Amino acid sequence: MATYKLLYKRVAVKEIRKLSPQIQKRLGIKLQWFAGQEDPLKFAEPLTKPADAGYRFRIGNYRVLFDVEDDTIVILYVQHRREVYKNK
């Protein structure tokens, strides 16, 4: 089973630290699960305007925007669904 590595950009880390501990834990568990899958893109939605990111994961009310480079999932942004697509 192929596993992917998670790489968090500085902006994503700042956004995650602003969230409650319960949300942080939920995001961490789910992202590890996605990274452990054979094809994590099967669970992702491709973005129609991929200026900043190519894909997104939906985790509850939060959206995780990311790109895939070889065997690494690069987490670019983590934001609430009402905020994530504004000004992007």
pLDDT in tens, 22-40: 999 999 999 999 999 999 9
* pLDDT, position 2: 65
Give the integer Cα–Cα distance in Å for 88 and 72: 23
Give the integer Cα–Cα distance in Å for 86 and 9: 19
* pLDDT, position 1: 53
Kindly list the structural domains of the chain, giving each domain's residue range(s) and its CATH number in brackets, ordered by start: 5-80 (3.30.2310.20)
Which residues, 6 or more positions from 28, have their beta carbon under 8 angstroms from its beta carbon? Answer: none
Rounded to an integer, the average pLDDT of 31-52 is 89
- Supply the pTM of this predicted model: 0.88
Give the integer Cα–Cα distance in Å for 44 and 16: 19
